[in-house]
Structure 1
Amino acid sequence: MSNSLNIIFAGTPDFAAKHLQALLNSEHNVVAVYCPPDKPAGRGNKLTACATKNVALEHGITVEQPVNFKDKADQEKLASYQADVMVVVAYGLLLPTVILETPRLGCINVHGSILPKWRGAAPIQRSLEQGDAETGVTIMQMDKGLDTGAMILKATCPITLTDTSATLYEKLAELGPSALLDTLALMAQGDYPQTPQDDNLASYAAKLTKTEAELDWQQSAEVLHRKVRAYIPWPVAQFTFNEVNGDKSKEHRIRIWQASVIETDASEQPGTIISADKNGIIVATAKNALRIEMMQLPGKKAMPASDILNARAAWFKASQAINGSR
């Protein structure tokens, strides 16, 4: 039996495009690529193709962009490719049962967590935020549930104290394609493992919101540090500083791009600046302190806290509340 499979690929962002590139470099035959319709982007709101579409076009692969799969013509078009399997990576569209059952071997998905933990839209961020020691990718057979399908293969990697969602994204973008090719090798043999998920061990990774980015200094420094790392590159952890000049005031939302935990038994109230110097701005929390090392003022680029102190030292004096008035 040939190890080559006819594959329909469905995906959208760069993470998906890297998996598509791995398939194109393999012995498998990508017969079509599916991605969402082009969306407006940039200052001119010009219709822009996603990363996956760009890779497909570079290699002369047919691209399909249905709004969804409710139209019977779209369902019949997918069936016409007579694919052995459909590989789905960060596609962004829910697949109806008729699509899941169309390819000979069904549809498989590359999910960025160690299932059944962190099903849902933001598994990398939630894993970091929770303080997990490791993460990884799970290749699963898709069913009509949300990331509930039987697991075929897992690949893991540790989460370090310096990892952000951005760095983990890159790690999984390297780990995933290799795991996908290993999975397809198993599927090509005709007899491959499908381990049901234990729903009792499942957790849900809800989509991130902008409101979560506002830090609560009543939490511990460890929790806040995890949030800082989890929210890079979006929505980026931040606090609101209220600048008062006479009878006028102005709020500044200040983003935090790098921080660390400082062990301390200081008695300052959470949200109070303990010290501010060339090493950063140390802020008291419910337990220990958070040292802010890189920040971004509104309309400015991210800079070391020491550089910002050179221009805004009056905003960050010891003993004042970091989100209070000057």
Structure 2
Amino acid sequence: MRVIFMGTPDFAVGTLEKIIAAGHEVVLVVSQPDKQKGRGKAFQYPPVKECAIEHGIEVYQPKRIREAESVEYLRKYQPDIIVVAAFGQIVSREILEMPKYGCINVHASLLPKYRGAAPIQYAVINGDAVSGVTIQQMNEGVDTGDIILQKEVELAPDETGGSLFDRLAKTGAEACVEAMAQIAQGTAVHTPQDSALATHTGKITKEMGSIDWNTPAVEIERLIRGLNPWPSAYTRLGEKTLKVWKSHVITEDFEEEPGCIVDVTKDAILVQTKEGVLALDEVQLEGKKRMATEAFLRGYDVERGTFFKRG
């Protein structure tokens, strides 16, 4: 098939690679504009653009894909299908209706659960046992189109937002080319979503990482994993921010207020929460490198009875 591919971050790169490897003709890649990063404010290519350049595919980076100029630019490529994977812009009806087979989307959840911007992180934060990928036929709603194909992925006990991201990116790439084959062969089955079962996720913000110790330890532990690697969970130790990268739950309760450091062992800092104790196993003090708590404690004196504060 003649394919226009729309995607921007790392998550979408594997899907583009799989489509190319499957023998489809990718005639155009559409990605978000380059962004300035770092102290030097140098422009950095989106990962999907870098991939397209490596394969000699033309790249188009409109500020607004819905504008008439952008729609007409796409139309001249006469795509059979448009594949969207973490593109970052909402496409118009004109674009949805442009290709012979319409537009399909690679979404990192088992729709209708977790429509929206951050399905991967919320699967970890909410303690889901299973996540997955949905290939959906796009319509004008946000993640509301018919389901073509779904693949499940079981979450590991130590699953992080980053590890699940990588696993779902790979699964999504495989599911996408499988769905494209079904579409081309005319065997694809379109199943409408049950909107009554839909849940929604908003964008992840840095502020979400501020640990509320007046929360059960099991929920904080999931938050830490879900927001790893970005934006990360954090608290305040004295006047400095302390990021928490890894932890585990101890069901025992101490008679202390939430946020109180109830014990300091050789390799962990134990903190009372609303319910249970959280042992901090890997941390990063503001201005320092990420390290095991054992290494951190060799250079920083942490006393029992000290209270962590909200970031």
TM-score by structure 2 length? 0.97
> Percent of aligned positions with the same letter in both sequences?
39
Equivalent residue in structure 2 for 1:205, among 201, 208, 213? 201
Equivalent residue in structure 2 for 1:274, among 262, 268, 271? 262
Alpha carbons 2:26, 2:57 under 8 Å: kept:
yes
Alpha carbons 1:40, 1:46 under 8 Å: kept:
yes
1:97 is matched by which residue type in structure 2?
A: R
CA distance in 2, matches of 1:274, 1:304: 19
Tell me the CA shift for residue 14 of structure 1: 1.1
Alpha carbons 1:277, 1:309 under 8 Å: kept:
no
CA distance in 1, matches of 2:274, 2:65: 50
Three-state SS of the structure 2 residue aligned to 1:155 is strand
Identify the residue that residue 8 of structure 2 maps to in structure 1.
12
Equivalent residue in structure 2 for 1:157, among 153, 157, 160? 153
1:289 aligns with 2:277: yes
In the alignment, structure 1 segments of 5+ residues that lack a partner are: 243-250
Identify the residue that residue 142 of structure 1 maps to in structure 2.
138
CA distance in 1, matches of 2:296, 2:188: 56
CA distance in 1, matches of 2:132, 2:16: 18
Tell me the CA shift for residue 51 of structure 1: 0.8
Alpha carbons 2:267, 2:297 under 8 Å: kept:
no
In the alignment, structure 2 segments of 5+ residues that lack a partner are: none
Identify the residue that residue 214 of structure 1 maps to in structure 2.
210
Three-state SS of the structure 1 residue aligned to 2:288 is coil
CA distance in 2, matches of 1:70, 1:222: 43
Equivalent residue in structure 1 for 2:34, among 35, 38, 44? 38
TM-score by structure 1 length? 0.92
Alpha carbons 2:253, 2:272 under 8 Å: kept:
no
Tell me the CA shift for residue 269 of structure 1: 1.8
1:320 is matched by which residue type in structure 2?
A: T
CA distance in 1, matches of 2:253, 2:188: 55
1:170 aligns with 2:166: yes
CA distance in 2, matches of 1:63, 1:69: 13
Tell me the CA shift for residue 72 of structure 1: 2.3
Q: Deviations over 1:133-181 (max 9, x none)?
A: 1101100001111111111000111112200000000111111111011
Identify the residue that residue 121 of structure 2 maps to in structure 1.
125
1:109 aligns with 2:105: yes
Tell me the CA shift for residue 312 of structure 1: 1.4
Aligned residues: 310
CA distance in 2, matches of 1:11, 1:107: 13
Moved over 4 A (4+): none
CA distance in 2, matches of 1:240, 1:182: 48
Three-state SS of the structure 1 residue aligned to 2:29 is strand
Equivalent residue in structure 2 for 1:69, among 49, 65, 68? 65
Tell me the CA shift for residue 191 of structure 1: 3.7
